[in-house]
Amino acid sequence: MNLKIGVFDSGVGGLTVLHALGERIPEAEYLYFGDTARLPYGAKSARTVAKFAIEAAQFLQARGIELLVVACNTATALALPAIREAVRIPVEGVVEPGAERAAAATTRKKVVVIATEATIGSHAYMQALAGREIQVCEKACPLFVPLIEEGWAEHPVTKSVAHAYLDDVFYDYENGPDVLVLGCTHYPLIKGVLRSVVPWRVEIVDSAEWTAQSVARKLGIQRTARATPGMELACFATDSVERFRRLGQLFVGQPLENVTLVDLGG
């Protein structure tokens, strides 16, 4: 397979999606764009998010990608239609695959979505689950991202924060939600912590994993996930290549050597 896939995020969190894609579709060539100079997108207007996302999408399209994965929940929630209109290639977001899996997994029709404040404010997952008679509880968890980027994915402080966010949501398990959706691409790094905090019968839906499965399914690829440490990968960042490499290794579990600093302007 000579397919060239582009992956875009406002920062390094989308590398969890890239990693999942590499496991599902190891033969592809990957280009990753992290708009690290202009994050966080969550504090910006929908118009600005769309502008930045379109610039990144067109940058990757100009380098020959044949499929774009928007590995940013905020950009997916606020700008996916605009991105699709701006490029000539198929575009996949991260919200719908996660919502689709949540709908299939819940037996109680009660789902909790945790994400950044911007994604929660967009109600993207609630809208994606609308019409399926599913009760959605949305919970912003803004401290998780800085804790993860500090390298504290397994730190006791992170577990304490998870308890503070989630204990009240799952206090009555017998009548409460039975699915937890990770609506931020950073959150798979603390899946172990979350697993220890929420009731064991609650299914944790990783949107990164299900996005990769959705892409593979649409490409007609049937494959059992496996590690692919040697994927062909080029990364682009709009700020500090050194920081991108350092954080990126936390997300993909291997050194990121091919990282280029780019300036889109604005």
Active site residues: 72, 184
Torsion angle of C-alpha atoms 116, 254, 231, 263, degrees rounded to 10: 60
Residues 6+ apart with CB under 8 A from 105: 178, 179, 203, 205
CB 212 within 8 A of CB 21: yes
Which residues make Cβ contacts (< 8 Å) with residue 34, sequence separation at least 6?
Answer: 9, 10, 11, 12, 14, 15, 235, 236, 237, 238, 244
First to last CA, the chain: 36
User: What DSSP element (H or E) covers 149?
Assistant: helix 144-149
Q: Which positions ≥6 away from 15 have C-beta within 8 Å?
A: 9, 32, 34, 71, 185, 248, 251, 252
β-pair type (179-182, 29-34): unpaired
